[in-house]
């Protein structure tokens, strides 16, 4: 299930390593047609693009397995004209503070691209987490129900991973069509208090849980800007502009050795940890951090140790070996 993710990596290209399996079970064609239409409608009314000039102000709280919390802020001002867009992002998280300005294919940043992984996790939810059904997903039913006190249509579907099947659900508001609840695997997302921004609908509150435990609380205010944005807003924060990657020919990094942890003796259920990091020109992984926790610190630590041993044929941009940013998924079966 590919996701629409806004990832700002001006000095790297983000890639994700996953496994694909053909759908094993049949489904009703008309039912799938309706489910796809519901999700496309949710995407159409919530995914930015038709509102060119806007400001987003976000505050968030991250909850950690040990019970501690950390708070941060994220703001974005977007403006410009078609073919000549600009964005200014500002991020604060404890002692981390970064300002990044993008103008066309140029970027200027005070911190480079190695930001805390919590910000990648955050932007995966902004302005709302969306998806697209693919060949792994089998639609089972569409139920009329109520979510957060409003009528909703909930799509129940299965996702096939080889011999295992994951039971999932997406719920869309019946009146407006926006996505209000996401239950996929061990991830639960609840979007509420939607506000209209131009012709879009965006949630002002988002709650994300993993393995039944609250992970992140988000409050966002998105406002359309009438007219043009003051160009001084997009003054570069440093004295230098860097050119963003625009490869004419590109080959992603290719795995040479990516061993998964040994399975346990607790059945076939799989727990995943997702790491973020870099694949260097040498083909080795570096700067690894936990992007999405398994919910178990021991498995997260084992995932870090495992991925640190992985090797790749490095990525190539226009014939030159390059460093790439990447996500790495580690599967723990029966653990």
pLDDT digits (tens, 9 = 90+) for 25-46: 467 888 989 999 999 999 889 8
Residue range 22-243, CATH number: 2.50.20
pLDDT digits (tens, 9 = 90+) for 62-93: 998 889 999 999 999 998 765 677 899 999 99
pLDDT digits (tens, 9 = 90+) for 229-274: 888 999 999 888 876 656 767 788 888 898 989 888 887 777 888 8
Please give the radius of gyration of the chain, using alpha carbons only, rounded to the nearest integer: 21
Asked if residues 8 and 123 have their Cβ atoms less than 8 Å apart, the reply is: yes
Say which residue, 116 or 112, is predicted with more confidence: 116
Q: How far is CA 198 from the centre of its chain?
A: 24
Q: How far is CA 258 from CA 3, 175, 262, 325, in A?
A: 23, 46, 12, 16
Provide the pLDDT for residue 318: 76
**Mean pLDDT calculated for residue range 198-219:** 94
Confidence band of 23 (pLDDT split at 50, 70, 90): very low
Asked if residues 244 and 10 have their Cβ atoms less than 8 Å apart, the reply is: yes
Size (the chain), residues: 335
Residue range 250-333, CATH number: 3.30.2420.10
So where are the chain's domains?
22-243, 250-333
Provide the pLDDT for residue 245: 57
pLDDT digits (tens, 9 = 90+) for 125-178: 999 998 888 877 899 999 999 999 999 999 999 987 666 788 999 999 999 999
Contact partners, residue 48, CB within 8 Å, separation at least 6: 54, 78, 127, 200
- CB contact burial 187-205 (16+ within 10 A = b; e otherwise): ebbbbeebeebeebbbbee
């Amino acid at each position: 299930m590919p996701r629409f993710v806004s990832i700002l990596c001006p000095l790297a290209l983000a890639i994700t390593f996953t496994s694909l399996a053909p759908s094993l079970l049949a489904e009703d064609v008309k039912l799938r047609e309706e489910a796809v239409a519901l999700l496309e409608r949710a995407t159409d009314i919530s995914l930015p693009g038709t509102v060119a000039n806007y400001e987003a102000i976000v505050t968030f709280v991250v909850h950690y397995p040990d019970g501690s919390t950390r708070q941060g802020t994220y703001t974005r001002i977007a403006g410009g004209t078609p073919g000549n867009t600009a964005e200014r992002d500002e991020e604060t998280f404890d002692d981390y503070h970064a300002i990044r300005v993008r103008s066309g294919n140029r970027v200027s940043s005070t911190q480079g691209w190695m930001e805390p992984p919590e910000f990648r996790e955050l932007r995966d939810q902004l302005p709302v987490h969306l998806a697209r059904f693919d060949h792994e997903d089998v639609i089972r039913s569409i139920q009329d129900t109520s979510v957060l006190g409003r009528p909703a249509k909930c799509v129940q579907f299965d996702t096939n991973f080889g011999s295992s099947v994951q039971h999932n659900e997406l719920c869309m508001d019946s009146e407006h069509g926006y996505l209000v609840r996401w239950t996929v695997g061990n991830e639960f997302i609840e979007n509420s208090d939607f506000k209209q921004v131009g012709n879009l609908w965006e949630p002002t509150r988002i709650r994300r849980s993993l393995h039944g435990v609250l992970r992140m609380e988000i409050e966002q205010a998105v406002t359309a800007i009438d007219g043009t944005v003051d160009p001084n807003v997009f003054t570069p924060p440093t004295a230098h502009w860097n050119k963003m990657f625009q490869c004419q020919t590109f080959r992603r990094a290719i795995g040479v050795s990516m061993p998964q942890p040994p399975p346990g003796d607790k059945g076939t259920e799989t727990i995943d940890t997702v790491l973020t990091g870099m694949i260097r020109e040498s083909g080795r992984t570096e700067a690894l951090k936990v992007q999405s926790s398994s919910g178990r610190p021991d498995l997260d630590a084992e995932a870090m140790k495992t991925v640190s041993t992985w090797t790749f044929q490095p990525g190539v941009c226009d014939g030159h070996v390059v460093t790439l940013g990447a996500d790495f998924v580690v599967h723990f079966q029966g653990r």
